[in-house]
Amino acid sequence: MTGTITGLAATRRRRLPFGVALAFAWVAGMLTIAVFADAIRPYSITALHLAARLTPPDGFGGSLAFPLGTDELGRDVLSRLVVSIRISLLIAFGATLLGMLVGATLGLLAAHLRGIVEQAVLLLIDVQAALPFIILALAVLAFFGNALPLLIALLGLYGWERHARLARGLALAAGTQGYVLAVRQIGAGPWRLYLRHVLPNIAATLIVSATLAFPEVILLESGLSFLGLGVQPPMTSLGNMVGYGRGYISNAPWIMLAPSAVIVLTTLAISIAGDWLRDRLDPTVG
């Protein structure tokens, strides 16, 4: 018996494609960096080393003192990168969670109450589809200011319409299944029905949908920060660093190349991991 189970686990492990394993490893690495950012970074992100301004990375004329070089104020690029990873991931994580929560709640409400509530939710979904998110976000951020909680809340609205549509569809489909009818028959209220029975049954699909939205939220945050309307200095984020490094593209390209590479590789890794999860757990999500 034990032998079969280990054997099964072994085949599963062998089936994990190399690229996907690499993607998971990268994501795990980024998470580790995010958690231990303060222990990893060699310098403070605001520490100025004026004598070592615009030092190229180690191997390109720089030294190990500043492995990824410094910017024009002499701040260590590696330290800023490490802290940026933490902030960008934190924002993206919070926002994705929030979007999932908003979307799933509205979707389940629409599926449960039907009628006018459902029509209202569907109309809101249409409205969201008619407004490119970054344009709406730009307007809101510029007028409300750029506080971090607001940024997370705003980004948290990203993707809600997709999650809502999905949750509604899944809940409607679940409503016709035996277990829901049975739970209803024994007199369970809507809270019990949805939290204890429907949600656990549709959670896998919703989680995959959130995983697929996560890299998009990272891109959105870095885009807004790049435009100077996301995370504000002295705090730093990946997009922020790229936006700042843009001014030095001709004489110090390493300032923008390091965060760019991290953005691209992280979104790529999460997309690959998300796709793999989707294929494995649930082939029905678009």
Partner 1 sequence: MRFALNRLVRACLTLLIVVALAFFILRMSADPAIVILGPDAPPAAMAAFREAWGLDRPLPIQFLDYVVAVLHGDFGRSMINGAPVLPLVLGRVPTTLAIMLPALLCAIGIGVPAGVFAALRRNTLADRCVMAASVAGFTMPSFVLGLLLVLVFAVTLGWLPSGGNDHWQSAILPVVTLAAGSAAVLARFTRGAMVEVLGQPYIRTASAKGLLWRAVVRRHALPNAAIPIVTMIGFMVGGLLAGAVVTESVFSWPGLGRLMVVSVASRDLAVVQCILLLVASTMVVANLTVDLLYGVLDPRLRRGGGAR
Cβ at position 233, least distance to partner 1 in Å = 15
Cβ at position 42, least distance to partner 1 in Å = 25
Cβ at position 243, least distance to partner 1 in Å = 8
C-beta of 107 vs 193, nearer to partner 1: 107
User: Where along the sequence are the contacts to partner 1 (CB under 8 A)?
Assistant: 123-124, 126-127, 129-136, 138-145, 215, 219, 222-223, 226-229, 239, 242-243, 246, 249-250, 253, 256, 260, 263-264, 267-268, 271-272
C-beta of 103 vs 243, nearer to partner 1: 243
237: which residues sit within 8 A by CB, 6+ positions away? 84, 87, 88, 91, 221, 222, 225, 230, 231
Cβ at position 238, least distance to partner 1 in Å = 9
C-beta of 93 vs 133, nearer to partner 1: 133
Cβ at position 63, least distance to partner 1 in Å = 24
The number of angstroms, rounded, from the C-alpha of 223 to the middle of its chain's C-alpha atoms is: 13
Quote the CA–CA distance of 145 and 235 in Å, as a whole number.
15
C-beta of 23 vs 193, nearer to partner 1: 23
Cβ at position 225, least distance to partner 1 in Å = 10
Can you say whether the dihedral through the CA atoms of 187, 188, 193, 197 is positive or negative?
negative
C-beta of 183 vs 268, nearer to partner 1: 268
Quote the CA–CA distance of 175 and 201 in Å, as a whole number.
11
C-beta of 69 vs 194, nearer to partner 1: 69
The number of angstroms, rounded, from the C-alpha of 58 to the middle of its chain's C-alpha atoms is: 31
In a 13 Å sphere around the CA of 202, the CA atoms on its Cβ side amount to 31
Cβ at position 239, least distance to partner 1 in Å = 8
C-beta of 117 vs 268, nearer to partner 1: 268
